[in-house]
């Protein structure tokens, strides 16, 4: 997974477990009784001057515990899927699948936010930014000074996920606008696993080997 994708998925993974907090806040309210999440998204990458570098659209599915399906649909097709233990990255245009073990590598990333790492307070400092342009905002700053991002801002519309803004340490900003958000709808279990087609290259990083397509 490239750096941008790691940052985005990370940011979305830290949201699906409730965590201990002494006061009510937008993140805690959103997480209460959260089992599944389905949403369309528009993702925009901006350079340090605010100029648009790339815009992509797709659909996100999340399910407790630790399962997700992140599908880019335009301008390219790519799926990032996990059943909580295995991570599949399917670059459909390249006809290539990369397989990785989830492990604990996401623990210090924004991903722990949405997929429910209970160690949120250990790795992030949370600040309530209040209401800005109709959204209730929080900011999460990594405690690790060597993290690939400087901050994650999440905007909530009441108890619904509205927007995420991730600033990386290269001066670039990724903005994700969520739409048609559905909480706790029934999701097919097949969304969170990947059946590998015969005509793709498979890079299994758990085994450090590449499997060529079947003839």
What does the pLDDT profile of the chain (215 residues) look like in tens digits?
455 666 666 666 655 543 434 445 788 788 777 889 999 999 999 999 999 999 999 999 988 877 889 899 989 899 989 888 898 999 999 999 999 887 655 554 555 565 555 566 777 888 989 888 889 999 988 888 887 889 989 999 887 889 999 998 889 999 999 999 999 999 999 999 999 998 899 999 887 644 555 44
Between CA 60 and CA 203 the distance in angstroms is: 24
Determine, yes or no, domain membership for 214: no
Determine, yes or no, domain membership for 34: yes
pTM value surpassing 0.75? yes
Determine, yes or no, domain membership for 215: no
Determine, yes or no, domain membership for 85: yes
Q: Look-up: residue for tokens 């758990």?
A: 206
Determine, yes or no, domain membership for 115: yes
121: number of Cβ within 10 Å: 12
Number of domains in the chain: 1
Residue 91: CATH number of its domain: 2.50.20.10
Domain residues for 20?
3-209
């Amino acid at each position: 997974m490239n750096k941008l994708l790691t940052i985005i998925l990370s940011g979305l993974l830290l949201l699906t477990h409730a965590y201990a907090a002494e006061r009510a806040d937008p993140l805690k309210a959103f997480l209460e009784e959260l089992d599944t999440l389905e949403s369309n998204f528009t993702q925009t990458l901006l350079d340090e001057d605010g100029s648009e570098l790339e815009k992509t659209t797709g659909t996100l599915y999340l399910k407790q515990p630790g399962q997700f399906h992140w599908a880019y649909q335009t301008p390219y097709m790519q799926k990032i899927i996990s059943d909580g233990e295995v991570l599949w990255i399917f670059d459909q245009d390249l006809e290539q699948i990369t397989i990785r073990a989830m492990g604990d590598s996401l623990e210090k990333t924004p991903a722990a936010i949405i997929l429910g790492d209970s160690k949120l307070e250990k790795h992030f400092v949370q600040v309530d930014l209040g209401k800005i342009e109709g959204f209730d905002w929080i900011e999460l700053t990594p405690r690790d000074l060597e993290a690939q991002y400087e901050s994650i801002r999440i905007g909530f519309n009441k108890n619904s996920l509205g927007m995420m803004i991730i600033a990386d340490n290269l001066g670039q900003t990724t903005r994700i606008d969520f739409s048609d958000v559905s909480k706790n709808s029934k999701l097919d279990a097949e969304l969170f696993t990947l059946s590998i087609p015969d005509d793709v290259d498979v890079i299994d990083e758990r085994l450090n080997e590449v499997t060529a397509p079947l003839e």
